[in-house]
Structure 1
């Protein structure tokens, strides 16, 4: 009897459940790539919506003030696309960012609650179709020669609301299929969809930005709509939907999804669990201040109030009581402020500093997202090894603040220096952001106090990312207000935000370090 070919042997070495997990990993990755792909065009097109006016401008050298030339007809403006061709264009472009992100922040709190009460596949599919429509609608302004500021603002608001369907849905799916064994590494790899989407969005939008910027929005709108069809046809929300072995009906055992080697590991009987003093090393350091590292949670009943054996959706206040949710949410507010300021304003900054056109600036800005991929993976590996999520985020935030100041100075020294600093800043800025929105959210959404209520994951994820989205809305707005006074002020604002993010983690960092010290002393004795 002949031996199996190596390829077939490799395929058959994986179980049915493992193949489903890999498929869900890839599918949810691609789905959220399309979300970020559709958000990126606005940052690329900014350089086309407002161009540097021709030499007909008068410059007051004494005060360094540009005096706007005589007003031209809307179709004859050489300073960009009306109404963004005016001298206050930075504030107008900032208003577009703020409209989208403010709607996204408000909608995120609602999205998690709604998402728990609807089938994820239908909810996500509908959101992707709507996102494709409103993304393309912004581009229709070019083809139909629309110059009303309110048209673009309303389109951004609508798009911000519908895009909130994405994150809670995909995180819930990936959290259902993968456990805490190597969650930091797995979700660090998975979260690279953010950077991959930004890169693809930059390249697609940049291809048409100079010739026909309307297509920079229409094409991504079509792509996310097509991915919505894929979502409807193939998304598997939970292992139990495929009758996987991970769903056991036995009252004496509890299924546990482990992300390292096997799909399931049967936990000891519930009675043994109650008498055991062992706590999950990833979660026991996120307990409230008045509890020790080895004591079980005393407020489980408060968190589970309103739940029926893990089948009902958790309340908003119940999710807030989970240890660590408030601290990580506030930390993400400032971390996301920094990340989204780069997302929306980096191409315009490169255009002004390096004097490149919109396409080249957009291509160069993708290096920030390349660095973000490595930063997210590195944060996941470190946090898995140390078993300390807050400490890992704190270390990267501590290094990021002075690095941002270095970027503002070094990026003016030349093209090569800008490339290096973009990679470094991308890793340090997006590392904590990626870790909190993925592994930390999944950890807290599957906290032991929830007794296996997987439906709570959507609400917890929405609270954390929704709070972060408040910072994402404030960052670009503040950048638009501060940039006319000089880009240095924008970087000072970003450094302060990173410092604030670190401050909100200090209590959790202290708790994690104290737990490690107590465990070391216990082993020594």
Structure 2
């Protein structure tokens, strides 16, 4: 049997770059849509329809993520990733088409049926990027060096969402400056998604074996010879959701991540509104961005620290959440009286403390869990694990979002900070079994095997304890 193909840093960098831009494209699309909502309302689409679209998106995203992860584990991940981008582009174009034809003014039934239907499908296509992109990363980041620095690699990789959130308003501003029609703010994401979908589909090798076979075929075509030195990739056998839930710690992470994501969603969607009770709208929006800026280095910090602690990511995550608790308590008690500078510093710190655990759970932590020996019968598990954690978290967070207006209307803004504090404490409690295992040395990330380099000498996921 021929040796498995080597993994080069050049190819690892290419995979990192393509999947990073792919997920940034997802966030560019969502943020551009958010930024043109006011125009869509002026053109006749009601706020009620938009509200239903947002709620529907969250639930189809939640239910679609585990399914998307399974599809990526069962079929060619590069093709699945491309389909996700193609579908996202098609859905956004259909929104533009609906507005061109004034379907928002055609009556409640038509408006709800068309726009809500399109956005429900959009939620599923958007759910593909996270689990499948992470699965492709997991196929390539298996060298000893990559495994030693898994937290750093995935921590920097998860900054893709912030790149997308930054580029989107720039696109809108440039469209406004150039006096372009409003729909160009959505058309550019259509082009970006469709174009990068082609890159993912045809230029992103899902595995080192796939890349080696492609290179061998190209070389054979040039020389007119037949090369038989590249091993065939084994048939893919993904795991079921039931099997994924039976992996130790996965179920706990699913629910714990839901409460982490609830805190993130509350601050992402409601922080600007809270700040507007004390500041002018423009000032409030500017201050709220400090939370987003804090989230960017959060994943990197958690990743680096957990690498230094031998892969004990659960311990690091809980420490970050425990540090967050007193900040939430201070906000609950004194948010109305804090001076502006103190408020800004606290929001940036909260971004780090929330963003770090959020980003690392669906990347480095999921990669660790997908190597558990209980699923040694399958090498294709990472996409399903990521999809399950992400989908479960999104579902819990969506339920939490429904509680926010009820809490604020009945008890005021201070109660919302206590709500987030309770969510943080619950998340920490759910992590206790994982913490015990890590402190006992049972589930720290296994040290990479000694190797002279190359993929052929790396133990497979089935062989790792």
TM, length-normalised to structure 1: 0.69
Partner of 1:163: 126
CA deviations on 1:25-58 (whole Å, 9 max, x unpaired) are 11111111111222224554567778xxxxxxxx
Partner of 1:238: 207
TM-superposed CA distance for 1:316, in Å, is: 2.2
Residues 429-444 of structure 1: pairs in structure 2 closer than 5 A? 429-444=354-369
Residues 109-258 of structure 1: pairs in structure 2 closer than 5 A? 109-139=66-96, 143-145=100-102, 146-147=104-105, 148=108, 150=112, 151-179=114-142, 180-205=147-172, 214-243=183-212
Tell me: CA distance 1:208–1:186, structure 2 relative to 1, closer, same or farther (3 Å).
same
TM-superposed CA distance for 1:196, in Å, is: 2.0
Q: Distance in 1 between matches of 2:369 and 2:307?
A: 15
Residues 340-419 of structure 1: pairs in structure 2 closer than 5 A? 340-357=265-282, 364-387=287-310, 388-407=312-331, 409-410=334-335, 413=338, 416-419=341-344
Q: Distance in 2 between matches of 1:363 and 1:206?
A: 16
CA deviations on 1:355-407 (whole Å, 9 max, x unpaired) are 224xx765554432221111101110111111311111111111223323444
Q: Distance in 2 between matches of 1:513 and 1:444?
A: 16
Note the aligned Cα RMSD (angstroms). Answer: 3.2
Partner of 2:378: 453
Q: Distance in 2 between matches of 1:450 and 1:123?
A: 23
Tell me: CA distance 1:168–1:16, structure 2 relative to 1, closer, same or farther (3 Å).
closer
The match for 2:426 among 493, 500, 523 is 500
**Any idea what SS the aligned residue of 1:354 has?**
coil
TM-superposed CA distance for 1:473, in Å, is: 1.9
Tell me: CA distance 1:239–1:223, structure 2 relative to 1, closer, same or farther (3 Å).
same
Number of matched pairs: 404
Q: Which deviates more from structure 2 when the two are superposed, residues 26-35 or residues 477-486?
A: 477-486
Tell me: CA distance 1:103–1:122, structure 2 relative to 1, closer, same or farther (3 Å).
same
Q: Distance in 2 between matches of 1:439 and 1:126?
A: 25
**Any idea what SS the aligned residue of 1:336 has?**
helix
Q: Distance in 2 between matches of 1:411 and 1:139?
A: 41
TM-superposed CA distance for 1:173, in Å, is: 0.8
5+ long unaligned stretches in structure 2:
1-5, 214-233, 443-465
Tell me: CA distance 1:204–1:346, structure 2 relative to 1, closer, same or farther (3 Å).
farther
Tell me: CA distance 1:354–1:35, structure 2 relative to 1, closer, same or farther (3 Å).
same
Tell me: CA distance 1:351–1:136, structure 2 relative to 1, closer, same or farther (3 Å).
farther
5+ long unaligned stretches in structure 1:
1-14, 51-73, 76-80, 245-308, 517-525
Partner of 1:318: 243
Residues 28-107 of structure 1: pairs in structure 2 closer than 5 A? 28-44=19-35, 83-84=46-47, 94-107=51-64
CA contact (8 A) 1:131 1:159 kept: yes
Larger Cα-atom Rg: 1
TM-superposed CA distance for 1:513, in Å, is: 2.1
Q: Distance in 1 between matches of 2:344 and 2:172?
A: 21
Tell me: CA distance 1:160–1:143, structure 2 relative to 1, closer, same or farther (3 Å).
same
CA contact (8 A) 2:295 2:353 kept: yes
Tell me: CA distance 1:108–1:199, structure 2 relative to 1, closer, same or farther (3 Å).
same
Q: Distance in 2 between matches of 1:416 and 1:316?
A: 47
Structure with greater helix percent: 2
Higher relative contact order (CA 8 A, sep 6+): 2
CA contact (8 A) 1:393 1:431 kept: yes
CA contact (8 A) 1:38 1:201 kept: yes
CA deviations on 1:66-91 (whole Å, 9 max, x unpaired) are xxxxxxxx87xxxxx6522xxxx7xx
Partner of 1:305: none
The match for 1:17 among 8, 23, 35 is 8
**Any idea what SS the aligned residue of 1:40 has?**
helix
**Any idea what SS the aligned residue of 2:391 has?**
helix
Tell me: CA distance 1:412–1:24, structure 2 relative to 1, closer, same or farther (3 Å).
farther
CA contact (8 A) 1:206 1:363 kept: no
Q: Distance in 1 between matches of 2:439 and 2:39?
A: 50
